């Protein structure tokens, strides 16, 4: 752990070796521990005067809990020639075309990637970000037009803890990884954020509006709880 409380290291506990990400927060009142579903690491957050020794004691005293929760973290997707990538919830085969000069393109259910193999993951990530802006943006525009709920702007980001957000000034943010989820799930998340343009809370009126905007709420919430974490994992070659 560095002087400011950050950094990553491997720590031995009773259940085996785990990767620990250290955080220090001025808002934290006590040491806390969680599993980061995106990286598969244990995150230990310390208050300003929290001690590393106490955090390690907390980690080691909960070895069984850590092992059980790490076992539930889905394996990171492997993006490589012959593997597959999700788009709108449908698997598309990845075909590496090193001699081509077309970037990334789709033919049927196959995503073709040109260039050197070491750039394959980066090119696919850029491609999906572009697809997210196009596809999620189109869904947002359609639903906004149908409902009269128009955001001030749309941004596409890579977020760790949320699929979307809406600010007080009407700006909507969507996570680019949402483009890998089924369209019904995309529709629900977008409807959820549009509903915040009228209700900046999660009260009964908000949920009534969400249910009027989309028929997919129950299915989408179940899908995100069951399968959403795998989309947050860092992609591997």
- Rg (Cα) of the chain, in Å, rounded? 21
Over residues 41-64, mean pLDDT = 95
Confidence (pLDDT) at 155: 97
DSSP state of 74: P
Confidence class for position 23, pLDDT limits 50, 70, 90: very high
* Whole-angstrom distance, CA of residue 137 vs CA of residue 28: 37
Among residues of the chain, what percentage have pLDDT more than 70? Answer: 96
Tokens of 231: 């989309």
Q: Contact 168/200 with Cβ under 8 angstroms?
A: yes
Q: Which of 5-14, 117-126, 136-145 has the lowest mean pLDDT?
A: 5-14
In the predicted model, is pLDDT for residue 236 greater than 80? no
What are the sequence ranges of the domains in the chain?
8-72, 84-232
In the predicted model, is pLDDT for residue 193 greater than 70? yes
Query: Residue for token digits 């973290």?
Result: 73
Mapping DSSP to helix (H, G, I), strand (E, B) and coil, where does residue 113 land? strand
Q: For residue range 67-95, list pLDDT tens digits in order.
A: 998 888 877 778 999 999 999 999 999 99
Nearest to 171 by CA among 187, 154, 192: 154
Confidence class for position 3, pLDDT limits 50, 70, 90: very low
CATH fold of 84-232 reads Zincin-like (3.30.2010)
Q: In what order do the strands lie in the sheet with 8-13?
A: 8-13, 16-24, 41-46, 32-36
CA dihedral 28, 29, 33, 34 (to 10 degrees): -50
* Whole-angstrom distance, CA of residue 23 vs CA of residue 42: 11
- Stronger pLDDT, 8 or 207, i.e. the higher one: 207
In the predicted model, is pLDDT for residue 4 greater than 70? no
In the predicted model, is pLDDT for residue 6 greater than 90? no
In the predicted model, is pLDDT for residue 40 greater than 90? no
């Amino acid at each position: 752990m560095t002087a400011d409380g950050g950094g990553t290291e491997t720590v031995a506990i009773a259940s085996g070796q785990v990767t620990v990400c250290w955080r220090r927060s001025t808002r934290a009142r006590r040491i806390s521990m969680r599993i980061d579903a995106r990286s598969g690491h244990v995150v230990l957050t310390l208050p300003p005067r929290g001690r590393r020794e106490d955090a390690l004691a907390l980690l080691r005293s909960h070895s069984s809990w850590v092992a059980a929760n790490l076992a539930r973290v889905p394996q990171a997707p492997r993006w490589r020639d012959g593997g597959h990538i999700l788009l709108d919830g449908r698997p598309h085969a990845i075909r590496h075309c090193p001699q081509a000069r077309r970037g990334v393109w789709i033919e049927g259910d196959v995503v073709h990637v040109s260039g050197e193999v070491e750039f394959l993951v980066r090119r696919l990530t850029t491609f999906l970000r572009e697809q997210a802006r196009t596809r999620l943006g189109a869904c947002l525009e359609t639903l906004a037009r149908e409902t009269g709920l128009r955001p001030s702007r749309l941004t596409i980001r890579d977020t760790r803890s949320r699929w979307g957000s809406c600010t007080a000034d009407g700006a909507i943010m969507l996570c680019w990884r949402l483009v890998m989820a089924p369209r019904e799930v995309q529709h629900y998340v977008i409807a959820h954020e549009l509903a915040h343009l009228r209700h900046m809370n999660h009260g009964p009126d908000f949920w009534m509006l969400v249910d009027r905007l989309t028929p997919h709420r129950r299915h989408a919430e179940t899908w995100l709880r069951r399968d959403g974490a795998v989309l947050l994992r860092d992609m591997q070659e």
